[in-house]
Amino acid sequence: MKQNKVYSLLGIAMRGRNLVSGEFQTLEAIRKGSAMLVIIAEDASDNTRKLFSDKSSFYGVKAVIYGTKEDLGRAIGKDPRSSVGVCDAGLADAIIKQLEEK
């Protein structure tokens, strides 16, 4: 059930234009400071994981590894995505809360 809530929140963020996806848009959002949370797919390559982890840590953005590329893409109505950035603080907090619940 937790999984469905996270993906639902990502879909809400996408419809509200508070989400960026794909490598270039996500990196740009991290650099500009508009990303509040970065989600990296579990099946992303090691280089992609390191890139987003390092950038997020440098710019002070929380990054989590969650879901598969296929699931992240499906949740936002796009092709498989290895990274997404949530640009709304409230939605980012809600997603983090869902991820921390076990």
Q: What is the pLDDT of residue 4?
A: 84
Place of tokens 């796009």: 78
pLDDT tens, the chain, 102 aa long: 455 899 999 999 999 999 999 999 999 999 999 999 999 999 999 999 999 999 999 999 999 999 999 999 999 999 999 999 999 999 999 999 999 885
Superfamily of domain 2-100: Ribosomal protein L30/S12 (3.30.1330.30)
Q: What is the pLDDT of residue 101?
A: 83
pTM: 0.92
Q: What is the pLDDT of residue 1?
A: 41
Structure tokens of 99? 């991820």
Which DSSP string do the residues of the chain spell out, in sequence order? Answer: -HHHHHHHHHHHHHHTT-EEESHHHHHHHHHHT--SEEEE-TTS-HHHHHHHHHHHHHHT-EEEE-S-HHHHHHHTTSS--SEEEE--HHHHHHHHHHHH--
